[in-house]
Amino acid sequence: MRCVGCGYKAISWDVNRQGGVKPNENLFGVDLSKQQDAETPNWFSPAMYNVVKQNGRYVHIVIKPDRDCVVNSGLGSIRGARQAELSFSETGKLYFESMKVKNIRIHNRPAYNSEVHATRDMGVGELNNCYEDAELADTIMAVGTNALETQTNYFLNHWLPNLRGTSAGKKKQQLPNEPHEAARVVIVDPRRTVTVNACEDAAGKANVLHLAIGSGTDLILFNALMTEIAAKGWLDKSFVGQSTAGFDEMLAANKVSIDEAAQVTGLKPDDIRKAAAWIAEPKQGGGRRRTMFAYEKGLIWGNDNYRTNGALVNIALAAGNVGRPGGGCVRMGGHQESRKRRSSPTSSTMAVPTTSGSKCISTSTTISSWTAGRCPSSRCTRTT
């Protein structure tokens, strides 16, 4: 049996049966008397194993990462790789045996409820790309996510191939009519995390830009980037014209100079300009840059997360990077809880996030939420 989601296999056999080291005596079909290589799938840890009752009889059960799954390719998370140990613990046995529960979720809530309402209110679901887009992107902009530590499998299996250049063949195959340079990363985080170190090691320091902003200054940074991108003409005008509404009003309400943002965030003006170029400057030949925007709790748990999230989505939409390969403006994933939401707009439109100097102010101007239609593409929720 294959478990859905992150990709795990569930294997069970009678408790009175044991395998052996010969190829015909074990599920793996290999000689287990010999040393296996470092990345072999021919093993399971104690956390992946348990003894449970199945159809009235006791069986061994192993729930292990599925190497054939494109999500994790055999990598196991701390949560997922302990399903056998945890789901069939005393608590699990209470559910399955005593309470006769037929199904169990490893997540901590009975139904999915967004923590990032601004993106939904703007017509862009927060999970609007696929993992493969991280392998196809020209630039990855990471905001408030220490991906190596907190989304380890996603980072190792999909970011690193791009940063190391090993997904270059896939780029050329899927996107043959455009140049493909070395991948770049813009990381917005007050701290220098291990993710910054790993990106520099994989892509080279010249291709990694760490914006160590002052805490809580994301909003003015994003609005300054939006202002710079528009001033340089690095917009996807076709997409903006056909698929969004209220762009000019948004741009006027959120106009922030590079110098103003630098003073508030503590960044160098040239670094803000470089970030804008890496995000949206056209590639050689004039092709649009493919930028994936990834964020997590560092943004989501901010004191002004609604407007900050909206400002980030503004950049992605303006550059035409929602609903195209190598793009997206997405949560990285994770199941911690938070609740920080302003009152719902009273109409079908939303108030645009705006900044005046270092002070964030709300505008009473009601500006459209970048119309909330859906793209016919099965890979995305691009607005139409």
Q: Read off the tokens for 124.
A: 């862009």
pLDDT tens by residue, the chain, 384 residues: 444 456 788 888 888 888 888 999 888 888 989 998 877 887 788 888 888 877 888 888 888 888 777 777 777 776 677 777 776 655 556 666 677 666 655 444 444 455 778 888 888 888 888 889 999 999 999 999 999 988 888 898 899 999 999 999 999 999 999 999 889 999 999 999 999 999 999 999 999 999 999 999 999 999 999 999 999 999 999 999 998 989 999 999 999 999 999 999 999 999 999 999 999 999 998 899 999 999 998 998 887 889 999 999 999 999 999 999 999 999 987 544 443 333 333 332 323 333 333 222 222 222 233 332 222 223 333 332
Residues 174 and 184: their CA atoms lie apart, in Å, by: 19
Residue-level pLDDT at 96: 64
Structure tokens at 290: 């493919």
**Half-sphere exposure for 372 (CA within 13 Å, toward CB):** 14
For residues 185 and 208, give the distance between their C-alpha atoms in angstroms, rounded to a whole number: 5
* Enclosing H/E stretch for 230: helix 218-232
Measured distance CA(374)–CA(30) in Å, rounded: 49
Cβ burial of 363 (10 Å; 0-12, 13-18, 19+) is middle
Report the distance separating Cα 357 and Cα 97, nearest Å: 61
pTM: 0.74
Element (H, E) at 116: none
Predicted confidence at residue 383, as pLDDT, reads 32
Output the CA–CA distances (angstroms, integers) from residue 250 to 10, 112, 256, 311, 352, in the order listed: 50, 30, 12, 10, 6
Measure the CA dihedral 375/376/379/382, to 10°.
Answer: 0
Q: What is the pLDDT of residue 334?
A: 53
- CA–CA separation, 6 and 113 (whole Å): 19
Note the pLDDT of residue 171. Answer: 95
How much is the pLDDT for 28? 84
Rg (CA), the chain: 24
